[in-house]
């Protein structure tokens, strides 16, 4: 995460663009860095600020809210109908994570249908669905948990 103090922006390697260095964006970039560098999440399977309407598995039958999911990590062969499917959806917030953030993430997941949902704040992560844990598991641990449920 390269921060440009002169312009109040930083480079997002996932979107390949300079973005405003808001407190929420800094939380997002730190988490993304940890996911890829420390927890084995493949960078090429992560989408950042993805419009719900851009997700191929979401039914086009009804209107979708014009919203973007902060982070979606995909995995191959975890759904019988789609070669790539959302494994993890994460909502990022500046500061502490409250009930509003959890409700927002679960609301997004009503459409996204990721197998896992988490929320992240400054220095805090919580997996909130399907069960609550206070840490972000590795990519391989989530995949293993999915394979055990098949």
Model confidence over 47-98: pLDDT tens digits?
Answer: 999 988 888 788 666 777 888 999 999 999 999 999 999 999 999 999 889 9
Name the percent of the chain lying above pLDDT 70.
93
Average pLDDT of the segment spanning 107-115: 94
**Rounded alpha-carbon distances, angstroms, from residue 119 to 2, 38, 60, 84:** 24, 18, 27, 22
In a domain, 9, yes or no: no
In a domain, 8, yes or no: no
In a domain, 11, yes or no: no
In a domain, 72, yes or no: yes
Give CA–CA dist 100/87, Å, rounded: 22
Averaged pLDDT score across all residues of the chain: 90
Give the CATH number for residue 126. Answer: 3.90.1570.30
Host domain of residue 120: 23-149
CA torsion 107-112-116-120 (nearest 10°) is -60
In a domain, 129, yes or no: yes
- Number of domains present in the structure of the chain: 1
**Rounded alpha-carbon distances, angstroms, from residue 20 to 14, 61, 93:** 14, 34, 15
């Amino acid at each position: 995460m390269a921060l440009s103090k002169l312009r109040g922006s930083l480079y997002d390697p996932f979107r390949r663009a300079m973005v405003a260095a808001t407190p929420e964006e800094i939380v997002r970039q730190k988490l993304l860095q940890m996911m890829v560098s420390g927890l084995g999440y493949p960078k090429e399977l992560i989408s950042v600020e993805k419009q719900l309407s851009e997700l191929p598995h979401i039914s086009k039958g009804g209107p979708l809210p014009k919203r973007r999911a902060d982070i979606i990590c995909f995995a191959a062969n975890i759904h019988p109908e789609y070669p790539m499917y959302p494994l993890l959806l994460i909502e990022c917030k500046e500061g502490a994570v409250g009930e509003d953030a959890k409700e927002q993430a679960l609301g997004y997941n009503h459409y996204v249908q990721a197998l896992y949902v988490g929320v992240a704040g400054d220095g805090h992560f919580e997996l909130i669905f399907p069960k609550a844990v206070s840490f972000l598991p590795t990519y391989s641990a989530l995949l293993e948990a999915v394979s055990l449920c098949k």
